[in-house]
Amino acid sequence: MNSPALSVRNLLRLFRNAAEPEAMPVGVRNVSLEIATGEVVGLIGESGCGKTTLGRCIVGLERPDSGEVVVGGTDFTALSGRDRRAFRRNVQVVFQKPETSLNPRMTVARFVGEALANFDVVPRGARRARLEMLAGLVGLNADALERYPHQLSGGERQRVAIMRALASEPQVIVLDEPTSALDVSVQAQVLRTLKALQAEVGTAMLFISHDVAVVRYVASRVLVMYLGVIVEEGPADAVFTAPSHPYTRALLAAAPRLKPSGDEAPPMHGELDLRAARSGECPVRPRCPLAHDRCREAPPMADLGDGHRAACWLADDLNKQSSEPTYREKTAS
Amino acid sequence: MAMASEIGVAGEPMTAAAKLPASRDSSWRRIYARVFAGDPLGLAGVVILAVLLLVAAFGPLLATHDPILTTPDTLLPPSGAHWFGTDDFGRDVFSRTLVSLRIDFIVASVGVTGAILIGSLIGLVCGYRGGWLDDTLMRFVDIIQSFPLILVAMVLVLAIGPSVGSIVIVTVLINIPLYARVIRGQTLAVKHLDYVDAARCSGATELGIMFRHVLPNTLNPIAIHASLNLAAAVGNVAVLSFLGIGIRPPTPDLGVMVAEGTKFLVQGAWWMSICPGLILCTTIFSLNLLGDALESGLDPRRQDR
């Protein structure tokens, strides 16, 4: 892998709950990750696991407590003021909710045009042509440029949001559940557009989602997050066919499929409970069906080869078990 | 482009939308339909207000007599020649009423406009920046609000003398808190929306975000507040003039006319107070009707009526 488009090092951002000082603070704990140019990395995890916070720290909408966000050799977190504003050009974001992702008082052309003007991407005279090019890229008609958000459908609005993110020609785009608020059919269209864009533009993307199927469709590499830490990561094929962390297995087993085999991996106990989690031990322990004494000590990342890693004492065994043909047959959708 | 074929499906709803006229005209018609359809009182308010505004605009042209010319025909009751009768100086009350409408409207609307501008700015800055600036400015707003109107007016009039200008300043000052609070609340709600973050990622400066992305999206409730507030302001100007700390005679003003007329009520010259008083009531009433119609028509929670 040549130098990555994005590299996040030991990113820490915690939110303490003043009402419950005993509970584990939520957020992101010392997460490190790298995304190569042209790579789409999926980040999955349930609500409240810190995936949105991680995304907001990467795009500079949130200041991390510590750690680095390095894009093209520059640490974004070290910049401030004018430099920081100018640097935003390199890291863009697409949000989840189509109803609030666009300014209701601005036409598409003005809203997206701001990025072109602020970063001086193209000379003034060429902006209109660039807007039309961008509209075509995300699958919008040129006449949508003069519309206000209320005149667009949810899918069209998300296309505009993607168009805005592309306008500054970023090196990295963080997509925070860009399709989860859309109808399934529209979701499929937007995902297809994203995939085509990927082939055409080649921007690195971090695709955040709680939808396993969606990540499986777009991402070539996957990160699984639980309570602020990455518990498993690896090539999408490896993670999805041979999940080696109990949490990943439960997450995949919980994903709806057409033909349930009836004996998927054992589910997690209960819901994410911050009061049960203790720092220093494995964060999944209170809910893990395979938890045992050793889990009172946080497990290291076990290397399973080919970039596939899982933070579990049993990772090797689980990996072997998942790789067995019988297990694969049962979980294949 | 390679994607064009894929986009065909997504393009369908768009072409349907393209047939909708996207002009300003349609949005005005939509507002009209939402605010006044099925609301005859609101419509009546608008019609009355329009008539009064026309009168205010063309008052001096419509006046049948010179509003400040004193004549020997004092205290004449309403008749064909003097529709609202004459006052103790023999001046035509109808002509004076027409002329005063203009000054009262101007004072009230300049005052309210000033309050909207300054109040919105304070609310925007407080809501957006927060912190010590918010605390300081909002305490200042609290202090303004805690003074009774009459006290503020009297102090100001003592300081800068009774004039149209001082009434405008009083009107601005006492209405600042309303707009500061409304806009501050709206700003707090808007500033965390995704499009504000998106604009930040688009490289917008803090000022650009405040004035292009936050402020325009906080202004919706202003129309409702402004029309109700204008009614109160017209009343307040009249009250201050009535008390002698506002517009001074001989400048014709509804409040002054009502005040002067009261001295002659016991003699049976009712028209001097009652006629301009009724016009004042009608003005305030029509503004209130408009405000109520806007409130129920534009409030999204009440759209399903």
Q: Three-class SS string for chain A?
A: CCCCCEEEEEEEEEECCCCCCCCCCEEEEEEEEEECCCCEEEEECCCCCCHHHHHHHHCCCCCCCEEEEEECCEEHHHCCHHHHHHHHHHEEEECCCCCCCCCCCCCHHHHHHHHHHHCCCCCHHHHHHHHHHHHHHCCCCHHHHHCCHHHCCHHHHHHHHHHHHHHCCCCEEEEECCCCCCCHHHHHHHHHHHHHHHHHHCCEEEEEECCHHHHHHHCCEEEEEECCEEEEEEEHHHHHHCCCCHHHHHHHHHCCCCCCCCCCCCCCCCCCCCCCCCCCCCCCHHHCCCCCHHHHCCCCCEECCCCCEECCCCHHHHHHHHHCHHHHHHHCC
Which of A179-183, A198-202, B5-9, B148-152 is predicted with the least confidence, judged by mean pLDDT? B5-9
Q: Which residues of A touch B195 (CB under 8 A)?
A: 100-104, 111
| Residue B25, in any domain of the structure | no
What pLDDT is recorded for position B1? 38
Domain count, chain B: 1
Read off the pLDDT of each residue in A278-298 and give the average, rounded to a whole number. 85
Point out the residue among B13, B201, B216 whose CB comes nearest to the CB of A88.
B201
Distance between CA atoms of residues A29 and A9, nearest Å: 11
Q: Mind telling me how many Å the CA of B118 is from chain A's nearest CA?
A: 22
Q: Which residues contact A121 (CB under 8 A, 6 or more apart)?
A: A89, A115, A130, A167, A168, A169
Q: B299 falls in which pLDDT band (50, 70, 90)? A: low
Helix or strand or coil: residue B251? Answer: coil
Compute the Cα dihedral for B36, B41, B47, B51 and give only its sign. negative
Contact B202 A147 (CB under 8 A): no
B202:A59 CB<8 A: no
Q: How far is A294 from chain B (nearest CA, A)?
A: 43
Average pLDDT over residues B23-43: 71
pLDDT score, position A10: 94
Residues of B in contact with A118 (CB under 8 A): 202-204
Instruction: Tell me if B22 and A167 make a contact (CB, 8 A cut-off).
Output: no
Lowest mean pLDDT among A296-310, B5-19, B109-123, B174-188: B5-19
Question: Looking at the partner chain, which of A59, A100, A168 has a beta carbon nearest the beta carbon of B193?
Answer: A100
pLDDT bin (cut points 50, 70, 90) of residue B126 is: very high
Predicted pLDDT of residue B5: 40
CATH number of the domain that residue B236 is part of: 1.10.3720.10
CA distance A64 to A233: 22
From the list B18, B216, B217, the residue facing A143 with the nearest CB is B18
- Which pLDDT value is given to residue A62? 92
Mean local confidence (pLDDT), B69-84:
85
**Mean pLDDT (whole number) for A241-270:** 77
Query: Is the Cβ–Cβ distance between B246 and B171 less than 8 Å?
Result: no
Taking CB atoms and an 8 Å cutoff, what residues of chain B touch A159?
10
**Could you tell me if residue B16 is inside a domain?**
no
Task: Name the token pair of B99.
Answer: 């002329």
- Whether A193 sits inside 8 A of B197 (CB atoms) is no
What DSSP letter does each residue of B20-87 carry, written as one string?
S--SHHHHHHHHHHHHHTT-HHHHHHHHHHHHHHHHHHHHHHH-SS-TT---S-TTPPS-SSSTT-B-
In a domain, B7, yes or no: no
Beta bridge partners of A303: A309
Question: Is B31 domain-assigned?
Answer: no
Report the pLDDT value the prediction gives residue B208, as an integer from 0 to 100.
95
Maximum pairwise Cα distance, chain A: 67
CB contact under 8 A, A118 and B203: yes
Domains detected in chain A: 6-219 (3.40.50.300), 226-331 (no CATH)
To the nearest whole Å, the CA of A94 is away from the closest chain B CA by 8
Instruction: Please give the average per-residue pLDDT across A257-280, as a whole number.
Output: 69
Q: How confident is the model at residue A255 (pLDDT cuts 50, 70, 90)?
A: confident
Beta carbons of B7 and A89 less than 8 Å apart: no
Q: Mutating which of A114, A119, A143 best tests the B interface, going by the most B Cβ atoms within 10 A? A: A114
B137 min Cα distance to partner chain A (Å): 25
Instruction: Kindly indicate the confidence band of residue B10, based on its pLDDT and cuts at 50, 70 and 90.
Output: very low
pLDDT band at B236 (very low <50, low <70, confident <90, very high): confident
Judged by CB atoms closer than 8 Å, whether chains meet at A193 and B6 is answered as yes
Chain B residues touching A102 at Cβ < 8 A: 195, 198
Give CA angle at A135 (A129, A136), nearest 5°.
90
Mean pLDDT of A259-280: 69
Percent of chain B predicted with pLDDT > 70: 89
Q: Which residues in chain A have their CB less than 8 angstroms from residue B199's CB?
A: 103, 111, 114
Which residues of B fall within a CB distance of 8 Å from A57?
A: none
- pLDDT value at residue A160: 96
Mean pLDDT of the B154-169 span? 83
For chain B, report the end-to-end CA distance as a whole number of angstroms: 48
CB contact under 8 A, B204 and A114: yes
Q: Are strands A172-176 and A91-94 parallel, antiparallel or unpaired?
A: parallel
B161 with A68: CB under 8 angstroms?
no
Residue B26 scores a pLDDT above 70 = no
Those residues of chain B whose CB sits closer than 8 Å to some CB in chain A are 1-4, 6-7, 9-11, 13-15, 17-18, 20, 22, 193-195, 197-205, 208, 212-213, 216-217
B103 close to B164: Cβ distance less than 8 angstroms = yes
pLDDT of residue B12: 39
- Flag whether B23 is in a domain: no
Q: Using the beta-carbon criterion (under 8 Å), do A144 and B2 form an inter-chain contact? A: no
Q: Kindly report the CA angle at A49 between A45 and A54, in degrees rounded to 5?
A: 95
Tokens of B60: 């001096």
Check: CB of residue B236 under 8 Å from CB of residue B58.
Answer: no
Task: Considering only residues A5 and B1, tell me which one the structure prediction assigns the higher pLDDT.
Answer: A5
Is there a domain that residue B67 lies in?
yes
- CB spacing of A93 vs B201 below 8 angstroms: yes
Average pLDDT, chain A: 88
Q: Which of A84-93, A194-203, B247-256 has the highest mean pLDDT?
A: A84-93
Residues on chain B touching A137 (C-beta within 8 angstroms): 1, 3
**B6 with A103: Cβ contact below 8 A:** no
- Full residue range of the structural domain in which residue B165 is found: 38-302
Reported as a single tens digit per residue, the pLDDT across A113-162 is 999 999 999 999 999 999 999 999 999 999 999 999 989 999 999 999 99
Q: Is residue B6 part of a domain?
A: no
Q: How far apart are CA B64 and CA B216, in angstroms?
A: 45
CA distance to partner chain B, nearest, from residue A27 (Å): 19
Chains A and B: how many Cβ contacts under 8 Å? Answer: 116
In a domain, B278, yes or no: yes
Q: The tokens of A272 are what?
A: 């994410």
Higher pLDDT, B2 or A149: A149
Pick from A85, A151, A192: CB nearest B205: A85
Q: Residue A106: pLDDT above 60?
A: yes
